[in-house]
Amino acid sequence: TAGPGDPRSTSASPVWAVPAQSGLITVDERGRSYRGVIEATGGGALRLVNQLGVEDYLRGMQEVPSAWPAAAIQAQTVAARTYALRAMRSGGELCDDARCQVYVGRTAETAPQDAAVYKTAGRVLTYGNALAAAVYSADAGGVSATTLEGFGTPDGVYPYLTTVHYETDNPLPWRIELALTDVADRMAYPGE
């Protein structure tokens, strides 16, 4: 076997892990199993990419608790499908954490999530004959951000993304600490 520093341990070409009879690939270091195939690339740090269809991807989402009402899981699944397809059209891949959508693979699959994927198969959100910017967050503290606050996009660019107040039993107050110099720079203040 090739070890670190051995020229046989690197490859300019990707290496593919294809599932056996179980249809799953296990990544022991993450303690997770995945559907689809896994592409491994990288000369230094190893980079793994799980390639699979969007419906199987949605089965492995871990965005909402499986105890939520079926309609809520279905609504989130439609938003997640739209987000994923739109991201794929513009960038080609998604990360698997909260920066994109939380995807855990087969390890996260539950009967309520599978039912939501099946019930909403192929459904997406559109606006103006295009996939909508279907963004969402876990909790916005009782009021959603403006598009300028959340995405740096002027309000009105996406008229369907509006600021709303909502009931929450855990408002999660926000706190941020900034240096006065950062505030001055942001506001283009020329003084000290």
**Contacts of the segment 122-126: beta carbons below 8 A, 24+ positions apart:** 123/78, 123/81, 124/78, 124/81, 124/82, 124/85, 125/78, 125/79, 125/82, 126/82
- Report, as an integer, the average pLDDT of 38-44: 80
- Report, as an integer, the average pLDDT of 32-40: 87
Task: Provide the pairing of β-strand 25-27 with 47-51.
Answer: unpaired
Taking the C-alpha atoms of residue 79 and residue 108, their distance in angstroms, rounded to an integer, is 18
Least trusted range by pLDDT, from 4-13, 80-89, 154-163, 177-186 = 4-13
The pLDDT tens digits of the residues spanning 137-171 come to 776 778 888 888 877 888 788 888 888 888 887 76
Percent of the chain beyond pLDDT 70?
90
